[in-house]
Structure 1
Amino acid sequence: MPVPDGLHTPITNIITSESPVVAPMVSPGSTGDGEVIALGNEDQVEPIPRPESFAEARMEIEIPDLPDIGIASFGAPPNFEAVIGTDERVQIQETEKYPWRVTASLLITAADNSQWIGTGWFISPRTLITAGHCVYIKHSGVAGRDGWVKKIQVMPGRNGNQLPFGLVNSGEFFTVTGWGENGLENYDYGAIILPNAFPQDLGFFGFAALSDEELLQSVGNIGGYPGDKPAGTLWYDNRKISNVNPEKVFYEIDTAGGQSGAVNYIIRDGERIGVAIHAYGGTTANSGTRISANVYTNLDAWKRS
């Protein structure tokens, strides 16, 4: 498989043009060990989460309310993640189950030691995908802040102060030249590489580069860690994908700042498959970087077991 070039050329902090989708490119996921949320009857969206008490956590942490990492690159107030009309998000309580546990709350420390929040999702035991602006800050206007972030604490399945699987610190990141060098919205995606996998087999999302037709027939699902809700709580919404272009996927799924980097996934043949990396929005639609053939190739190359 050829390595993407141009604006999709991968770059990393560790020193060591879109392609049409003719045939689907699919990387399978894994449900890991332990409990899995059963699919809804429609086989398209997640079932409505049950408001049950959260299981006893393995670890607890207290993190104050922090701003969305998007503010560092785009300024405040953020206008790129929004609730469209009535807020239909629901809080996830059973965050220790799949697929919720393979979405992680991110505590991001920038180069100037300022701290921010974001969201990421596992594609392999040691690799999470997120927005490019979660790993590389652009145009902040603050001395010493731009460029690669210093550290990201990854907390899968976080529920407030409770961390059912603990946390792992990462200092190894990827993005692409389209974002890191040019700051272009269509290339706003990146990866976090963990130094070691979590002891538990959490599982991970599959991902795919699919045709326009298949995407427009699908319901998108997004879970993440928004900054307008209690700190560290996981919220979910779903809605039919409304539009696509070669670089982006558009939808009316409710989100808020802090959910930058979350996966927009569909349910395909009974599996949860990521099709976009959520990062932006507006008054009528939110959007994410489409997993095109080039994006797929980079994600596949960034997987670490």
Structure 2
Amino acid sequence: MSASHKITPHRVASHKIKAANEDAAPVPSSGPHTPVSNLDLEHAGKSVRQPKTQAPSAGRDAGGAAPADGETERVGGAAGPRAAAEAARTLSVPATKLRDIGEASFGSPPPMAETVHGPDDRRQITDTAAHPWRMHASLLIVARDNSQWIGTGWFIGPRTLMTAGHVIHIKNSGVPGRDGWVKSVQVMPGRNGSALPHGSVTSTSFRSVTGWTDNGDQNFDYGAIILPTDLGNTTGWFGFGAYPDADLVASTGNISGYPGDKPSGTQWYDSRKIASVDARKVYYDIDTAGGQSGSAVYRIVNGARMAFAIHAYGGAVTNSGTRINSEVYNNMVAWKAAT
């Protein structure tokens, strides 16, 4: 959803994610986490075999080192010669500025930007062609009624990006012919305005869960985009894991994406300590804006960038994302393997 829509923050819960035993039988995600696809590949009672362990899924952090402090990214410096050369591929920018995909499901945001709390701490990423910024993608979304919207996604494998469920499946828009799975998403990794340093690819294959597609429940607002090419082998991808409460509330969260309140197609980054968690959500006072729906919320662990939530909502006090708990993790592993 728009990162500028308000929800009530929850208190820290005592819930703790437990890793499955290495020898335990695989259990498909069920209930509101039941995976669905716009291509009907996983629905209608067909179970998806899941991994036997919930050890964190490794990313492919090729092309650059993590910050030495293990907390926040280093931001700064102009784009290098390689980035300038790669930026030769350009996008024809729409004549009018596109709106955040969250508005399609939830309506226009309030007049006050509630998700930048106090001074705007976001910093623009200029060398978007470089690692790790190229693992984040600007999304151009075409809904069923041919309206166009913006969002953010991030790679978890060669052909798979994660995003918010409402980025790929619109609910309760009130506009005839708009609700449901979107028609297409143009994925532009490392976009910088009209420059596409790694080109783009258009997808028409999407995944989410029944908790979102059937019920529109904000606790299950997550999904995936499956590409027809191995573009992730060029960009690299994030690792991800289901972490205990104590690990998360001690972590610094990092978010980078494509907010609609900044110049079109520019990437912006911010970081801050996690405020609180519950069983299905993570809350943080990291500045975001509409258009960053679907961004990775990640930490740096032993030099690797590891996602633990999918950014989806804003609020007057804290913003929030869908927590990667055991069920979300299992679906992500299955979607990562999709071709």
> Under a length normalisation based on structure 1, what TM-score does the superposition of the two structures give?
0.93
Matched, 1:226 2:259: yes
Query: Quick one: which of 8, 13, 17 aligns to 2:38?
Result: 13
2:47 aligned partner: none
Q: 1:47 to 1:264 in 2, by over 3 A?
A: same
1:102-141 aligned at under 5 Å gives the runs: 102-141=135-174
1:24 and 1:3, CA in 2 relative to 1: closer, same or farther beyond 3 A?
A: closer
| 2:71 aligned residue (38, 41, 44) | 44
> 1:5 is aligned with what amino acid?
S
- State yes or no: 1:153 paired with 2:186: yes
Bigger share in strand: 1
User: Could you say which residue in structure 2 is the equivalent of 1:171?
Assistant: 204
Q: Is the 8 A contact 1:80 1:282 kept in 2?
A: no
Shift of the alpha carbon at 1:102? 0.7
1:43-86, Cα deviation, whole Å (9 max, x unpaired): 21111322446522141012222000000000002689711111
Matched length: 296
Which stretches of structure 1, 4 residues or more, deviate above 4 A after TM superposition?
Answer: 78-81
- Residue from 256, 270, 273 that aligns with 2:289: 256
Kept in 2: contact 1:25–1:296 (CA 8 A)? no
**Counterparts of 1:59 and 1:81 in 2: how far apart (Å)?**
35
- Residue 112 and residue 161 in structure 1: after superposition, are their counterparts in 2 closer, same or farther (change >3 A)? same
3-state DSSP of counterpart to 2:331:
helix
Larger mean CA deviation between 81-90 and 2-11 belongs to 81-90
Match of 1:196 in 2: 229
> Residue 272 in 1 paired to residue 305 in 2?
yes
Q: How much identity, in percent, do the aligned residues show?
A: 55
Contact 1:96–1:164 (CA<8 Å) still a contact in 2? yes
Amino acid at match of 2:195: Q
Cα deviation for residue 200 of structure 1 reads 5.5
* Per-residue Cα deviation, 1:69-112 (whole angstroms, up to 9, x for no partner): 00000000268971111100000011111111010000000000
Q: CA deviation at 1:40?
A: 2.9
C-alpha contact (below 8 Å) 2:75/2:125 kept by paired residues: no
Which of 19, 29, 38 pairs up with 1:4? Answer: 29
In structure 2, list runs of 5 or more residues that go unmatched.
1-25, 42-52
For the residues of structure 1 that align with 2:189 and 2:164, how far apart are their CA atoms? 17
User: Could you tell me how far apart the structure 2 residues matched to 1:211 and 1:176 are?
Assistant: 23
Check the 8 A contact 1:81/1:279 in 2, yes or no.
no
**2:102 aligns with one of 47, 53, 70:** 70
For residues 228 and 267 of structure 1, the distance between their equivalents in structure 2, rounded to whole angstroms, comes to: 27
Structure 2 counterpart of 1:20: none
Kept in 1: contact 2:54–2:329 (CA 8 A): no
- Which residue, 54, 61, 82 being the options, matches 2:115? 82
The answer as to whether partners of 1:165 and 1:200 remain within 8 angstroms in 2 is: no
Structure with larger Rg: 2
Distance 1:80 1:301 in 2: 36
Matched letter for residue 59 of structure 1: R
SS at match of 1:254: coil
Q: Give the C-alpha shift of residue 15 in structure 1.
A: 2.8
Distance 2:141 2:251 in 1: 32
Q: Which SS does the other structure have where 2:311 is aligned?
A: strand
Partner SS for 1:121 = strand
Q: What SS does the corresponding residue of 2:282 show, helix, strand or coil? A: strand
SS in structure 2 of the partner of residue 101 of structure 1: helix
Q: Distance in 1 between matches of 2:162 and 2:114?
A: 18
Distance 1:282 1:236 in 2: 18
Deviations 1:106-133 (A, max 9, x none): 0000000000000000000100000000
Which amino acid letter does the alignment assign opposite residue 157 of structure 1?
A: G
Aligned partners of 1:260 and 1:219: how far apart in 2? 19
The answer for the alignment partner of 1:61 in structure 2 is 91
State the 1:41 CA deviation: 3.6
Give the residue type in structure 1 aligned to 2:58.
P
| Aligned-partner Cα distance in 2 for 1:163–1:269 | 31
Secondary structure (helix, strand or coil) at the match of 2:234 reads coil
- Secondary structure in structure 1 of the residue aligned to 2:254: strand
